[in-house]
Amino acid sequence: MLVREGIPRARRVVVKVGSSSISGDNAHQIAPLVDALATAHAAGTEIILVSSGAIATGIPFLQLEARPHDLATQQAAAAVGQNVLIFRYQNSLDRYGIVAGQVLLTAGDLENPTHRSNAQRAMDRLLGLRILPIVNENDTVATHEIRFGDNDRLAALVSQLVGADALVLLSDVDALYTRPPQEPGAVKITDVPLGDDLAGVTFGSAGAAGVGTGGAATKVSAARLAAASGTAVLVTSTSLVAEALAGAAVGTFFEPSPVPTERLPTGAIAVPTAD
């Protein structure tokens, strides 16, 4: 069973980063994020990056002042933003001679046995070729009815899909707290034992600057889903990703189930229960 200090020795790690961490005024955080991923990649770890940010990145190119609410404009922003986002990642990865592979998924892809098998096979082959897969929801074609809802859940399902040893969920906050960290009396949660229901913990609203859709509650739900499948989960800030991948005592660690990680079986998809 993987522990926090064992993350640097994990065979396969999924890292998820949110929109607010790598878009707008925080686009400069892509370079240090890539630095950390490249260090782990060079050490032999197979890295999969689940990156939000397509819509947020596309907003200024559509000359919009805020995240659009209608589906068609969200899809248009995603079409433009995904192109720019992947360019920014590849431009930074070029410093290390690493090639990115874009993988866009919808919830329907992971519910359909054929599509899920294809995605699984493609990512296995990308990793075998030492390509760094960058996964995002396919916002250009996804509808409200079939969306993952947030990329924390997508990251947990991808972890199941590829049999990841660890999942690192990144945001703007260094860890989970017993209440929103800006409130008096908030206490940092360092470890979450398997089965801990976090009774008495209060989560705040999602997203920073209105560009993201996830929050602490979605991260807990995703972490529980992944941990129950045998994947260790660490929740921390994007600025601490290097320390997280090095096994440092940062963030909130969710203990994985001792049952070995198994991939999603054909014809079945694991869905997290509501908090």
Nearest of 225, 224, 207 to residue 216 by alpha carbon: 207
**Orientation of helix 71-93 relative to helix 30-42, angle to 10°:** 60
Q: Hunting for tokens 């980063």 — which residue is that?
A: 17
Given the DSSP bridges, would you call strands 100-105 and 12-17 parallel, antiparallel or unpaired? Answer: unpaired
Binding residues for ATP: 16, 171-172
Binding residues: 16, 52, 139, 151, 171-172
Report how many helices (DSSP H) and strands (DSSP E) the chain contains, helices first. 9, 10
- Contact predicate 266/117, CB 8 Å: yes
Binding residues for substrate: 52, 139, 151
Given the DSSP bridges, would you call strands 166-171 and 176-177 parallel, antiparallel or unpaired? Answer: unpaired
